[in-house]
Amino acid sequence: QSALTQPPSASGSPGQSVTISCTGTSNDIGDYNSVSWYQQHPGKAPQLMIYGVTQRPSGVPDRFSGSKSGYTASLTVSGLQAEDEADYYCSSYAGSKSFVVFGGGTKLTVL
């Protein structure tokens, strides 16, 4: 069982917006602004999409955005495109003992 809880699946039609949630505890998401989101296509390595809750690395489209409220972080993908279909994982710093914890992943399907 993963430390952070994500829905196993999400879907949307091209052009629509979809939001993926990531729920943690006071020991991780609730205590640190160190939430990241990774995209992983089948057979490929993960790719960083969001860090520091809301920051986008260079090269990541501004259709991807992140937010946090309390113990829950969210990734929103606006203007869905076919290439956004992938698995998405959240992560958070969890202190010096647990270090970094991941969510179980959400499979995003573009209908």
Partner 1 sequence: EVQLLESGGGLVQPGGSLTISCAASGFTFNSYAMNWVRQAPGKGLEWVSTINYSGDTTYYADSVKGRFTISRDNSKNTVFLQMNNLRVEDTAIYYCAKVHFTSPRTYDSWGQGTPVTVSS
- Kindly tell me the sign of the dihedral angle through the C-alpha atoms of 101, 26, 54, 111: positive
Residue 14 CB, nearest distance to partner 1 (Å)? Answer: 27
Q: Output 26 or 42, the one with its CB closest to partner 1.
A: 42
Q: Which of 13, 26, 99, 111 binds partner 1 (CB under 8 A)?
A: 99
Q: Output 74 or 91, the one with its CB closest to partner 1.
A: 91
Site string for partner 1, 22-61 (x = CB under 8 A): ----------x-x-x-x-----xxxxx--xx--x-x----
Q: Is 89 exposed, middle or buried (0-12, 13-18, 19+ CB in 10 A)?
A: buried
Q: Is 44 exposed, middle or buried (0-12, 13-18, 19+ CB in 10 A)?
A: exposed
Point out which residues bind partner 1 (CB under 8 A).
2, 32, 34, 36, 38, 44-48, 51-52, 55, 57, 89, 91-93, 96, 99-105
